Chains A and B, each alone.
Chain A
Amino acid sequence: MQKLVQEIKSIFANHDDFFIQEEHFKQTAIFLIGFNTMIDFTHSNLYIRQMAKMSASVNELFTNLSDQLDVDLEQIIKAILDGKLVLLSECNRNALLVPISRKLSRSIDEPKNESIIQGPLNAFGEDIDINLGMIRKWLGTERLCHCSHQIGQLTKRRISMLYIKGKAPIALIEKVDRLLKQIESDIVTIDDLNKHFGQHKFNPISYLFSTEIPIQAIDSLKKNRVVLFLDNYPCALVFPHLFLDMLTTVNDRNFPIGLSLLIRALRGLGALATLILPALYVALTSVNPDVLKIDLALFISKSREGIPLTPIVETLTMVVLVDLIIEAILRLPKSVGPTITMVGGIILGQAMVDAKLVSNLLVIVVTAMLIANSSVVGVQNSLYIRALKYPILILASVYGILGLFTGLTFVCIYLASLTSCDIAYMTFRIEGKGDTI
């Protein structure tokens, strides 16, 4: 017996938070083994003592405490790593006990990155079981299928795949299942997962749409898609990611149909405005002023009076600065953020115009673009739309209005060419395989 204890001890020799506590029960020594960073030892010990009082023998105690008895060394080591309490007795018996653990995950919270108007406020957290539980609770049907994978080389990470049987296409389910099984390396980020799903290195559009909101995930399930959960990742990953995710959320439908259509049209307009506005400014001020109505041309000409920078340099400066500000605000601590934003806003808006570095009109255009950009759903979507405006801007500065439309056409062609698992990105809805169970 001592041999087994010594072996475990030597495996965890480099762990200072590892403990082996010796207890005596009816003249038999029992070893309690585990990590004290994961186990609330005092309370767990108290619980075992209370159980011991009620049990007649060591054997009885073990059966009372746990149903995982007499397992091999490998399983013991895994159980220790998972934060379980292992009991070893002198007479070669062991038990894996689910102890009173330290609180290492947060409870159900409100969504942080997606704001909800009129809708349930629960958001996914880091604990995968809680996330799955939420889905189970809200979608109480036996057709909801769940299959779980352990993936990774160094650490095994849990990935759960959810789908509704009879809705999601079988080909899709099988393909995702196969892809997940093939993964051998560690999955740390969404991008790692994307790579395994076959994403090209320079493709800015993720194959997975992450959402924090349970009803959004449930809605995706109902629309014949597959939802993945990664442990310690507080989002559901909807596969495949479609273009319409940028324009619609399930919460829109809490409004009357007319209003929800209006909201969605505005989001589309916002995406388009982000792509077009800066390019249009450059095209109209430098290459094709002759398409303007004369009053407008004179007005623009007046607003650009005395500005030394060329429109493209001017616009690039402003657009890059604005993107920098957004990036900076995300990184800054919440207490400093507003101050920096305010100062930055004043300097960019007022001082740059007063110093005649950029024109009034450009400030208006860039602000409009920035606000329009924020109207689309999902942070990753607004980010890639922001990235796609640069090629259009460059083309517009070279070829004017013609370049703008060429750029826009190329963006459309590119988006239309994207597929994930043979489902086009521009698809409006995924055909289910029919409503058979």
Chain B
Amino acid sequence: MKINSYVRIIVALISLILLSGCWDIKEIDKRNFPLIIGISKENKEEYKVSLHIPTSEKGGKMSRTVSQKGTNVSSILGQLRTNIEDAVYYKQVRLIIIQNKLANDKEDLSELIKFLMKSKELPSIALIAITEENIEKMFSNINGKHFSHTTSIIDYFYKGADWAPEISTTRIWEVYRSLFSYTKDIAIPVVNSGKDTILNYEGAAILKNGKITEKINPSENQFVILFKNHNANGIIENLGNASIMVTNSSLKIKPSMLTSEPIVSSNLSLKIDILERKEGVTNDQIQSKLEKQFKKQFYDMLDKAQKNKTDIFGFGQHFRNQIPFHELKNWREEYYPNLKVNFQVHVIIE
């Protein structure tokens, strides 16, 4: 009886190994991890998907590009998996670059975003970016740079807020959320391949319900990020006769509703460091000039955005609990054009 039970345990253990499916596990060196997926549209029907796959060869090229054409993205990803030698795991994809032509088409873009979000293979935390160039050319430009390494394009986007306050990092799930949001629009970074650097940051495209409404330049985008993160550390501003860097900042937003007219009072306090100044320029002059410049930039952008009915600063988010839900879908059309913003800037020189 006792021997019998040992035999049973042994049989159970052996079947554990056989049944678990561990014989067809792919080792790490037999897997391919595409880091970037580029998606473009060649003509009306045909999509083209390019994968940027790091290789582990010593010396030689650090990564390679694989492209495939087809009628929809999911089938192309499947075909790529068939054609590439090793197993392809899309789980590590960090960046999805969408070509301009495809991004400008509202329906195609929303369809693509929905697919990217719902696909179980692709991580929904991957960053998204738009380019105006040919994607294959862009990838080959990255490969051609002798200083680039396998993950340099990821490092480009993950510099951290204090080092590159202009770059917005937008994830797929954020774009997906903005497709259905009544009160918030989202900025997607636009990049092109650079001459001396792997990428060149061009600004951001503002997406409203899946449609690109306007493009803003990098210095405008840092305002958008300021309102998103409530933090403006690292911004360098040229004031003509001096230049400063923001070392610490805080932003307070207080929404209030006066008979269907939304009012936002926002206080931005900045601690700045003076990097350089011309002779005879006093601290007071710098302070007042900076305050004026920030206010002007902000109100210019707000005017433009209100005309486009695009809530790039996401002010609508603050009124979600003050407007009845069935009215919320009218935010952009009825409430937002009437929005008054009282923007105050306080500058402290350290």
| Residues of A in contact with B (beta carbons under 8 Å apart) | 284-287, 289-290, 294-295, 297-298, 300-302, 304-307, 310-311, 394, 397-399
- What residues on A are CB-neighbors of B20 within 8 Å? 398-399
Let me know if A290 and B29 touch, CB within 8 A: no
The distance in angstroms between the C-alpha atoms of A300 and B54, with both chains bound, is 13
| Overall SS of chain B's interface | loop
Contact pick for B28, options A297, A394, A399, CB 8 Å: A297
Which residue of chain A lies nearest to B13 when distances are taken between CB atoms in the complex?
A394
Residues A298 and B31 in contact in the complex (CB < 8 Å), given A290-B91, A290-B92, A397-B22: no
Q: In the complex, what residues of B have CB within 8 A of residue A397's CB?
A: 22
Closest partner residue, chain A, to B154 (CB atom): A294
B308 close to chain A: CB less than 8 A: no
Select which of A298, A307, A310, A398 is within 8 A of B56 by beta carbon. A298
Question: Is the beta-carbon distance between B27 and A304 smaller than 8 angstroms?
Answer: yes
B227 on the A face (CB < 8 A): no
**Which residue of chain B has the shortest Cβ distance to A400 in the bound complex?**
B25
* B58 partner residues in chain A, CB cutoff 8 A: 302, 305
Complex Cα distance, B154 from A26, in Å, reads 109
Q: Are B92 and A286 in contact (CB under 8 A)?
A: no
Contact present for B28 and A304 (CB under 8 Å): yes
CB-CB nearest in chain A for B150:
A298
* Complex CA distance for A385 and B17, rounded to whole angstroms: 23
Residues of A within 8 A of B56 (CB): 298, 301-302, 305
B151 within 8 A of A: yes
Could you list some 6 contacts between A and B, CB below 8 A?
Answer: A286-B22, A290-B91, A297-B28, A300-B28, A305-B57, A398-B17
Q: Which 8 A-B pairs have the closest CB atoms?
A: A302-B56, A304-B29, A289-B28, A290-B91, A398-B20, A285-B28, A301-B29, A398-B22
Is the pair A398, B27 in contact by a Cβ cutoff of 8 Å? no
B33 lies within 8 A of chain A by Cβ: yes
A289 to B94, CA, bound (A): 15
CA distance A287 to B17 in the complex (A): 14
Interface positions, chain B 165-221, Cβ under 8 Å from A, are none
Residues in B neighbouring A302, C-beta threshold 8 A? 29, 56, 58
Taken together as a complex, chains A and B put the C-alpha atoms of A150 and B92 apart, in Å, by 69
> How far apart are B139's CB and chain A's nearest CB, in angstroms?
17
Binary A-proximity of B136-151 (CB < 8 A = 1, otherwise 0):
0000000000000011
Selected contact of B54 from candidates A286, A298, A398, CB within 8 Å = A298
Total contacts A to B, CB within 8 angstroms? 59
* Residue from B16, B35, B56, B57 whose CB has the most chain A CB atoms within 10 Å: B56
A397 to B26, CA, bound (A): 12
**Do A297 and B29 touch (CB < 8 A)?**
no
Contacts of A295 in B (CB 8 A): 150-151
Whether B163 sits at the interface, judged by CB under 8 Å, is no
**B156 close to A (CB within 8 Å):** no
Residue on A with the closest CB to B18? Answer: A398
Indicate whether B343 reaches chain A with its CB closer than 8 angstroms. no
Asked whether A307 lies within 8 Å of B154 as measured between CB atoms, the reply is no
Find chain A residues with CB under 8 A from B29 CB.
301-302, 304-307
Asked if B89 is at the interface (CB within 8 A of a chain A CB), the reply is: yes
| Interface residues in B14-41 (C-beta closer than 8 Å to A) | 16-17, 20, 22, 25-29, 31, 33, 35
- Contacts of A300 on B, CB cut-off 8 Å? 28
Please name the residue on chain A nearest to B89 by beta carbon. Answer: A290
- B-chain residues with CB within 8 Å of residue A301 when the two chains form the complex: 28-29, 31, 56
**Separation in Å of the A397 CB from the closest CB of chain B?**
6
Contact residues in B for A286 (Cβ distance below 8 Å): 22, 25-28
**Considering the chains assembled together, what is the distance between the CA atoms of A399 and B22 in angstroms?**
8
On chain B, the residues within 8 Å of A304 by CB distance are 27-29
Cβ contact within 8 Å between A294 and B28: no
**Chain A positions within 8 Å of B57 at CB level:** 305
A72 CA / B31 CA spacing, docked (Å)? 86
B3 CB to closest chain A CB (Å) equals 13
Residues of B within 8 A of A294 (CB): 33, 35, 54, 92, 94, 151, 154
Residue of A nearest to B22 (CB): A398
Q: Contacts A294-B92, A294-B94, A398-B20 given; 12 further ones with Cβ under 8 A? A: A285-B27, A286-B26, A286-B27, A287-B22, A289-B28, A289-B31, A289-B89, A294-B33, A295-B151, A304-B27, A305-B29, A397-B22
Smallest Cβ-Cβ distance to B25: which chain A residue: A286
**In chain B, what residue has the closest Cβ to A287?**
B25
CA of A249 to CA of B94 in the docked complex: distance in angstroms? Answer: 50
Q: Which residue of B lies closest to A307 (CB)?
A: B29
Q: Report whether B151 and A398 are in contact in the complex, using a CB–CB cutoff of 8 Å.
A: no
Q: Quick one: closest A residue to B32, CB to CB?
A: A301
If A294-B33, A294-B35, A301-B56 touch, whether A311 touches B151 (CB-CB below 8 Å) is no
Q: A290-B92, A295-B151 are in contact. Are A310 and B27 (CB under 8 A)?
A: yes
A173 to B25, CA, bound (A): 55
Complex Cα spacing A398 to B17, Å: 7
Minimum distance in angstroms from A357 CB to a CB of chain B: 14
Least Cβ–Cβ distance between A384 and chain B, in angstroms: 20
Given A298-B33, A398-B20: A284 touches B151 (CB 8 Å cut-off): no
Docked complex Cα distance between A100 and B24 (Å): 75
In whole Å, how far is A284's beta carbon from the nearest beta carbon of chain B?
7
In the bound complex, CA of A217 to CA of B56 (Å) = 56
Q: Indicate the member of B29, B54, B94 with the most A CB atoms within 10 Å.
A: B29
The CA-CA distance from A399 to B20 in the complex, in Å, is 8
Q: Which residues of A contact B26 (CB under 8 A)?
A: 286
- Nearest A residue to B26, CB-CB: A286
- Give A24 to B342 CA distance when docked, in angstroms: 128
Q: B333 CB to closest chain A CB, in angstroms?
A: 43
Q: Is the CB of A297 within 8 A of B25?
A: no
The docked-state distance in angstroms from the alpha carbon of A307 to that of B29 is 9
CB of A365 to closest CB in B, whole Å: 14
In the assembly, what is the distance between CA of A368 and CA of B204, in Å?
Answer: 48
- Pick the contact of B16: A285, A289, A398 (CB < 8 A): A398
CB distance B151 to A298 under 8 Å? yes
Q: Which A-chain residue is minimally distant from B31 (CB atoms)?
A: A289
